[in-house]
Amino acid sequence: MAHFDNEALGLSFDLPDEPNALEIIRYDSKRLEMYGEPALVILWECIKPLILNWDCEDLPDCNVNLQKAKSLKAAQAVEFAAMRGVDWRASLDEVPKNS
């Protein structure tokens, strides 16, 4: 499990080390489906279904409608998770180097 945390935001969550093909396709497809929406919203919606063990003081439920989240830290938690999701997804495409 890939683990991410940000102490300043009171945030931690996990992403799968080996997502199945459908999970990867859904992530990639969501980016295309939401074309025209704000980039961070798209990236959040892509990674949100894959998040495990979400723990965040200012956004206790990662599935909540973001219009109902009223704190700056909630927005920052979403942005942090969305960008870690980008890094996570890119890492799946890395080809291991021969030892």
Q: What is the pTM of this model?
A: 0.89
Report residue 97: phi and psi, to 5°: -80, 145
Report residue 11: phi and psi, to 5°: -130, 135
Tens digits of residue pLDDT in 49-92: 999 999 999 999 999 999 999 999 999 999 999 999 999 999 99
Domain locations in the chain? 2-92
What is the pLDDT, as a whole number, of residue 2?
94
Residues 6+ apart with CB under 8 A from 75: 66, 69
